[in-house]
């Protein structure tokens, strides 16, 4: 549930309220019970749950090297054509089209 921040126009006090989206906005100050409150725009607050969100979950240099060595190296096939023939079908220097 989101946390909303309110400010009272009468006493100047600020307070937070945890409300559902469907709950109506507060109309009374929790500090002095004045009906002069307004909702403030403030930074959002959220909780990151699960793995990968904590400082201890970040990979160290040694861990990164270990993971890199575990992953297979991709095989790159060369598409270069042999010198001598534009189509790459003739041996180097023996292409009949160059005659």
Q: What is the token pair recorded at 59?
A: 């990979």
Looking at residue 3, what is its pLDDT?
86
Chain center to CA of 84: 51
Q: Where are the strands (E) in the chain, listed by range?
A: 3-8, 14-18, 37-40
Spatial contact of 43 and 51, defined as CB atoms under 8 Å apart: no
CB 32 within 8 A of CB 13: yes
Burial (CB count within 10 angstroms: exposed 0-12, middle 13-18, buried 19+), residue 37: buried
Q: Which tens digit of pLDDT belongs to each residue from 22-79?
A: 999 999 999 999 999 999 998 776 777 776 666 666 656 666 666 666 666 666 665 5
């Amino acid at each position: 549930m989101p946390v909303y921040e309110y400010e009272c126009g009468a006493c100047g006090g600020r307070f937070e309220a945890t409300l559902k989206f469907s709950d109506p906005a507060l109309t009374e100050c929790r500090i002095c019970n004045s009906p002069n409150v307004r909702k403030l725009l403030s930074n959002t607050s959220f909780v990151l749950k699960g793995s990968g969100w904590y400082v201890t979950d970040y990979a160290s240099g040694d861990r990164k090297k270990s993971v890199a060595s575990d992953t297979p190296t991709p095989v790159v096939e060369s598409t270069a054509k042999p010198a001598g023939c534009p189509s790459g079908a003739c041996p180097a220097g023996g292409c009949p089209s160059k005659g």
